[in-house]
Amino acid sequence: MKQLDLSLYVVLDPVLCRAHSMVETARLAVAGGATVIQLRDKDASTEALVEVGQELKYVLEGTGVPLIVNDDMEAAIAIGADGLHLGQDDMPVSDARWMIGAEMILGLSVETEEAMRAVDSSIVDYVGVGPVFGTPTKPDHKPPIGLDGLARIVALSPVPTVAIGGLKAEHVAPVRAAGADGLAVVSAVCGQRDPEGAARLFMV
């Protein structure tokens, strides 16, 4: 099992990050305590993702904070990212693991107890569980599972878990009480006037 601190997992959104840019938002978020950075841009080409990803790698160098790329395996490999995150509708995780090798972190989104029971800890390093609450940053998300649903799904996980979906600093305690190892956030940090200060609010 790879060592991974999921305490505050910041997902970069190109629209929300316009005020500071994704790279500057990442730098500030890490200064405030973010422990993982994910590059997510559904509309960007692989080439564009690689360009931003290489800048992010430079900014994160020496911080110990891993860079995870959402969905685009080709970009993750080209960037030399620390990890790849896949959804249930993306390629099978077994295929992804074969292609990215044993060293790269592999994460998977899980929305149901059934999906969690299918997680193979020899392939997947962590799972993102949610959406806990509804969120406008991912309008096509599945129905919110709530904190009770989070607890039920997390209890079945063979790997570390990070909760996602409409989470704010006030949810740190209840999410931890539900058994998750951390919180993944988008708008609560990315797009805030002070991303560093916003990240610090989660450090309780």
- Residue-wise pLDDT for 76-131, tens only, equals 999 999 999 999 999 999 999 999 999 999 999 999 999 999 999 999 999 999 99
163 occurs within a structural domain: yes
Average pLDDT of span 38-45 = 96
1 occurs within a structural domain: no
| Residue 68 lies in domain | 8-200
Q: Give the pair of three-digit tokens for residue 85.
A: 């995150």
> Quick one: angle between helices 22-31 and 46-60, nearest 10?
30
Residue 40 annotated among the catalytic residues of the structure: yes
In total, how many domains does the chain have? Answer: 1
If you average pLDDT over every residue of the chain, what do you get?
95
Residue 138 annotated among the catalytic residues of the structure: yes
What DSSP letter does each residue of 127-144 carry, written as one string?
Answer: EEE--SS--TTSTTPPPP
Torsions phi, psi for 133 (to 5 deg): -125, 165
Which residue among the candidates 97, 138, 157, 200 is catalytic per the annotation?
A: 138
3 occurs within a structural domain: no
Residue 187 annotated among the catalytic residues of the structure: no
